[in-house]
């Protein structure tokens, strides 16, 4: 079974419209995405533990409901890297 991975660049839709998610690091345990908001011109980082959706044999970007469980937001790359190292 081939497992589909998250793309290197994702354009936000819905609640995150105006944000671009750029994958900057990947391992067997997770990802780091740099998030750039084109409206506010702000940026931050999201760390995601890798979760495979059995139904589709794919990973997906988590919804806001799971942040704090297996997805986290950090304002600095250094803090994101620290969390990524602990996955």
Inside any domain, residue 71: yes
Nearest residue to 35 (alpha-carbon basis) of 43, 23, 27, 25: 43
Query: 1 in a domain, yes or no?
Result: no
Q: Rounded CA gap, 52 and 82, in Å? A: 23
Domain extent for 73: 9-86
* pLDDT at residue 1, as a whole number: 46
Our count of domains for the chain comes to 1
The predicted-structure confidence for 10-66, as pLDDT tens digits, reads as follows 998 888 889 999 999 999 999 999 999 988 889 999 999 988 777 767 787 788 888
pTM above 0.75, yes or no: yes
Residue count (the chain):
87
Residue 81 inside a domain? The answer is: yes
Residue 2 lies in a domain: no
Contacts of 65 (CB under 8 A, 6+ apart): none
- Residue 4 pLDDT exceeds 60: no
Write down the pLDDT at residue 5: 66
**What are the residues whose beta carbons fall under 8 Å from the beta carbon of 58, sequence distance 6 or more?**
3, 4, 5, 52
- pLDDT in the model for residue 53: 74
Return the pLDDT at 86. 97
């Amino acid at each position: 079974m081939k497992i589909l991975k998250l793309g290197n660049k994702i354009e936000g839709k819905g609640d995150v419209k105006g944000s671009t998610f750029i994958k900057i690091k990947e391992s067997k345990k997770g990802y780091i995405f740099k998030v750039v908001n084109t409206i506010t011109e702000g940026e931050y980082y999201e760390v995601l533990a890798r979760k495979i959706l059995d139904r589709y044999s794919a990973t997906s970007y988590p919804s806001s409901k799971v942040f704090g469980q297996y997805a986290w937001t950090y304002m600095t790359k250094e803090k994101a890297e620290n969390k990524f190292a602990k996955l």
